[in-house]
Structure 1
Amino acid sequence: MDFRLTEEQQELRNAVRDYLAGEHGPEVLRRRDAQREPDDAVWSGLVGMGLAGLLVPEAQGGLGLGLIEAALVAVELGRANVSEPIADTALIAAPLLSPAEQEKVAAGTLKIALAHPINPWIADLGTADLLYTSGGTTVPPVAKALTGIDPLRSLFAPVFSTEDDNLLNRAALISAAQMLGGAEAMLAISTEYAKTREQFGQAIGSFQAIKHHLATVAVKVEFARPVVLRAAYAAEHGHARTAVAISHAKVAATDAAMLAAETAIQVHGAMGYTYEVDLHFWMKRAWALAGAWGDRAFHLRRIEAAVIGRGMTIGPDTVFASELNNA
């Protein structure tokens, strides 16, 4: 199995990364934090790039791409710490909607909030046009606003919803991809800080202890990346072990993001805890996403059930290709 990205996938990833690097820097995060409300300019820019219609069929005005492309875009959204509901609307809900609703999503005129009993909250319900729950959409109800750890996310009290494994798996995958992007960003922020922060007359990045900490994060991130892409591949092709692959991705991305956040604080020293340092936006997003759509313990239980309860074959001779082909 060839896990290298195609030229088109690389171009998509790079285009989204370059756009967000130029249009969604830390100043946008601070403005969003001060306003405590959605940024119409950010949403319009994302729609203008075609991201709203990424998974919408071409017949409904979208790009008709797949979950691998969605995962790549989600990584870039996590890297830039985008808080607009583009991931929930375009990368999770869009394929589950009616053709008429998909057309509105692709046009950027429809925002979707997601409800599932695994989450004790609903994100962005206050600005959503529709609420997706229990296999269909409804008019968003009025719900009590909640306070979350991430100041850039708007949370509301949950409403009645039933189990929906398809929604759970799609959302867990996109959350994992966003955490992977966030981990990359925290690693980059910490590396840059280590190059410029001096102690004892030299940059702290020259100290072996700092190098080892950052290298450990880099390894964790690179080990999580193929796991996330493998989960996207499994989901896109409907493999029987998709749920396990997605749980593996959520665990791997969570571990990478948590280690990146912890290491970033250590590299920044006391400054890492302050509001003045941009790092805290990514740390809080990582903590929030770690508990979204199934926490680490939930996904470990799903993996354990597959490996122990159902005898799933594991080991160095069980590569992605053979595992998926034998599912």
Structure 2
Amino acid sequence: MDFRYTEDQLLLAEGVRDYLTGMHGPEVLRRLDEQGNRDPEIWQGLVDLGLPGLLVPEELGGMGLGLVDAIPIAIECGRACVSEPLVDTAFVAVPWLQRSGDNEALAAIAAGERKVSLPHAINPWVADGEGTPLQSVDPLRNLTTAPSASTGDPYLLDLGALMSAAQLVGVAEAMLALAVDYAKMRTQFGQPIGGFQAIKHQLASCSLAIEFARPVLARAAHALQEGAETASYHVSHAKIAATDAATLTAETAIQVFGAMGYTYEVDLHFWMKRSWALSGAWGSRGFHMKRIDDAVIGEAMPIGPEHTFA
């Protein structure tokens, strides 16, 4: 099966990237961090692009696209470290609300009138909610307690984990780009440190981990969109691969920047903190590894090329 994105999907993602590059750069992240985390103009810009309604059916004011179409956009949201709960609303809540048939909420989301973040037993908080405020490792996330987080709906869990994985890939790409740019500028012994073999190998390992996560993510999105019986296992695989790529890239970027990489003066910390937050959201690495282990040992997911590539 061909999991490559279509030209239309790539063009849409490119348009979103261009917009976010101009409207949501590091200087905006710093302003938001210092002035309350939210700017109504940012949300309105996302609404004007039609992103909240990307997966909402056309008859309710949306574009009627699917989960696979949403993945490149979620990656771009991670790359730009988008502060607004766009992914929570448009790519997690919308598919879940479609299953429950809440057309009123879907129409309001498509119109940009509502932001919806859904809690789960494994993720008992919501972004931009009205509960008791919580402190996040990521200063741009406004989290609150969720009064009704008892649901253990596996579909909601899979949606959240899949979209967290997509954002982690984008976050990793952004951290890698920052590290590469700095390695070209910082000099030691009369030459850029990026010229040293050890640095090259570390950055190459990050690039490889990110590229390995991409097809796993695409496979998981397709499986969940098509309702495959093994969708949950593919989602867990994607969350693990994306978490590992982001963790490795964060650690490597810190090494490239040196001790100053931890400081507020360096933009890296915004993406590094976002990677920490997303890595633990919608199931930790240990949780998803156990889910795969149980499936393989219990023979719910047979392994081997005759099954993997069936």
Residue in 1 aligned with 2:90? 90
Residue in 1 aligned with 2:170? 181
Residue in 2 aligned with 1:103? 107
Note the residue ranges of structure 2 that are not aligned, 5 or more in a row: none
User: Does residue 234 of the first structure (1) align with residue 223 of the second (2)?
Assistant: yes
Contact 1:254–1:296 under 8 Å retained in 2: yes
How far, CA to CA, are the matches of 1:173 and 1:192 in structure 2? 29
Q: TM-score, normalised by structure 2?
A: 0.96
CA-CA distance at 1:317 after TM superposition: 4.5
CA-CA distance at 1:9 after TM superposition: 0.8
User: Does residue 145 of the first structure (1) align with residue 133 of the second (2)?
Assistant: yes
| Root mean square deviation of aligned Cα | 1.2
User: Does residue 158 of the first structure (1) align with residue 146 of the second (2)?
Assistant: yes
CA-CA distance at 1:194 after TM superposition: 0.5
CA-CA distance at 1:108 after TM superposition: 0.3
1:144-194 Cα distance to aligned partner (Å, 9 max, x none) = 211111100011223232211111110110000000100011001100110
Residue identity in the other structure for 1:100:
E
CA-CA distance at 1:311 after TM superposition: 5.0
Contact 1:95–1:102 under 8 Å retained in 2: no
Contact 1:53–1:107 under 8 Å retained in 2: yes
Residue in 1 aligned with 2:254? 265
2:279 to 275, 290, 296: 290
Secondary structure of 1:114's match?
Answer: coil
How far, CA to CA, are the matches of 1:246 and 1:37 in structure 2? 30
What does 1:167-178 correspond to in 2, within 5 Å?
167-178=156-167
Moved more, 150-159 or 55-64: 150-159
User: Does residue 306 of the first structure (1) align with residue 310 of the second (2)?
Assistant: no
Moved more, 32-41 or 232-241: 32-41
User: Does residue 113 of the first structure (1) align with residue 101 of the second (2)?
Assistant: no
Residue in 1 aligned with 2:23? 23
Secondary structure of 2:248's match?
Answer: helix
Count of equivalent residues: 305
Q: TM-score, normalised by structure 1?
A: 0.91
Residue identity in the other structure for 1:111:
K
Contact 2:230–2:301 under 8 Å retained in 1: no
Note the residue ranges of structure 1 that are not aligned, 5 or more in a row: 127-142, 323-327
How far, CA to CA, are the matches of 1:168 and 1:312 in structure 2? 19
Residue in 2 aligned with 1:123? 127
How far, CA to CA, are the matches of 1:302 and 1:148 in structure 2? 26
Residue in 1 aligned with 2:62? 62
Residue in 2 aligned with 1:137? none
1:31-67 Cα distance to aligned partner (Å, 9 max, x none) = 1101123211110111111101100001111010010
Residue identity in the other structure for 2:95:
P
Secondary structure of 2:117's match?
Answer: strand
Contact 1:24–1:80 under 8 Å retained in 2: yes
CA-CA distance at 1:112 after TM superposition: 0.6
Moved more, 158-167 or 272-281: 158-167
User: Does residue 246 of the first structure (1) align with residue 227 of the second (2)?
Assistant: no
